[in-house]
Amino acid sequence: MKQAVEIAACVRSGQMSAMAVLDACLAGLAAEGGRLVAVTGILADRARMEAAAIDAAIASGRDPGPLAGVPYGVKDLFDIQGQPTTAGSALYAHAPPAIADAEAIVRLRGAGAVLVATLNMDEFAYGFATINARHGTTRNPHDLNRLAGGSSGGSAAIVAAQYLPFSLGSDTNGSVRVPASLTGIYGLKPTHGTLPMGGVFPFAHSFDDVGPFTRSIADMQCLWDVLTGGHDVPRDQIRVAQLGGRFRANADEDQIAAMQAIAPDAPLIDLPDIARARSAAFLITAAEGGALHREALGRDAMAFDPATRDRLLAGALLPQNLYEAAQAFRADYRQRITALIADHDVLLAPATPCVAPLIADPRILIDGALSPARADLGIHTQPISFIGLPSLSVPLRRPGRLPLGLQLIGKAGSEATLLRFAAMLEDKGLTGVTSPTDAYQGDA
């Protein structure tokens, strides 16, 4: 499938109709047949109504918007009018239908995009693997025996496989950046609180953010402008640094080589107390998630995914003083890191510590020991979410090999600079999407 900006240009110019685009998209999703375990629902009737409205607007001489006729999907925790919002859980499979769309969906519809599907996730977004007890485990389109990452794995896999040009996920501790890295596409976690969370089922409000997936920076820029209004201005000169310490100790050699190629003279910065920051993030996440689901756990704990239930129960039992201490540390840590990176505009770091692990053995090597992927694929993303900084996962060019990404991390509110820098890397051929159809030759 073409990129979003290309589809929109064709629809707006009359080269193809929004309905024709939609029919081709629905046919592709039907042919996919659940192979990726990425789609949880097809919204065909709604999508046809939206596509028809776009074609009618064009016929009457009205501009339907910069995403005219572009089909997309959303992680299964966005409110969709008339549909139950399940957050990937059987617990809410028969919940009352949402009375309105999530705000992000409203903005995309206003720009002409056509909502087609809901997409698989870890239950309640609690995990980095998209292993879902109700829908199954989402598979990586580059190797169906491997994880796609999570918790927005369905949103990433369906875009990486080119069945949809873009999708929306959510990122709490890395749930956009991890699957973007493992499936070889672009994924953005914005500055905390920048994109609208209205109508999005929460996980941990201290960290939750909406985040898009695309196969090009041009598409990501278009989505950013639609979702925000596009008012921020990038810096003319971009000062780059690399993150060292545990970021470098748990990195693939190709990631280190790519960072050197991108900015060979960039200084190396060691962020202090990374392990402590990650522990505090785990604690806050567990406490907020446990509090959110405390009543439902008390009513019917056995209805939860077993892999989610125990962690939510543990979070619900955490003492309030520990949660408050973690939040106090977070406030102090944010100030320290803000001062430390004041002279730099982009920080380079690995997005994930390795390529996608096998579904049959979902473990990864962290600090020299095997660790559960569901918990530790976010080792490099979680400390960044902890202080609310924006981060864009960009794919390295690795034809014939499994995907792997880098994070471009910026100061609060600097998404325009990150997007401009990513466009420069894409233009130079240092980063870019590799098609899953390219021959996979194997990875260690």
Q: Which residues are catalytic?
A: 75, 151, 175
Contact 190, 180 (CB under 8 A): no
Integer Cα distance of 429 and 432 in angstroms: 7
| DSSP H or E run through 169 | strand 166-171
Torsion angle of C-alpha atoms 344, 244, 260, 363, degrees rounded to 10: -130
Give me Rg for the CA atoms of the chain.
20
The whole-angstrom separation of Cα 277 and Cα 340 is 15
Burial label, 315 (beta-carbon count in 10 A; 0-12, 13-18, 19+):
buried
Q: What angle do CA 40, 41, 43 make, to 5 degrees?
A: 155
Find the length of the chain: 444
Residue 114 structure tokens: 């056509």
Residue 65 C-beta-side C-alpha neighbours within 13 Å = 25
- Per DSSP, the three-state class of 337 is helix
* Separation of alpha carbons 220 and 226, rounded Å: 10
**Backbone CA torsion sign across 348, 353, 354, 360:** negative
Two structure tokens written together for 441: 């030759």
The whole-angstrom separation of Cα 88 and Cα 41 is: 11
Residue 279 makes CB contacts below 8 A (sequence gap 6+) with none
Half-sphere exposure at residue 152, Cβ-oriented, CA atoms within 13 angstroms: 39
What spatial distance separates the first Cα and last Cα of the chain, rounded to whole Å?
31
What order of strands is seen across the sheet that includes strand 114-119?
39-42, 114-119, 71-75, 166-171, 209-214, 186-189, 391-395, 405-409, 346-350, 240-243, 268-269
Whether the Cβ atoms of residue 43 and residue 116 lie closer than 8 Å to each other: yes
Distance CA 444, CA 364 (A): 12
Say how many C-beta atoms besides its own lie within 10 A of residue 31's C-beta.
Answer: 9
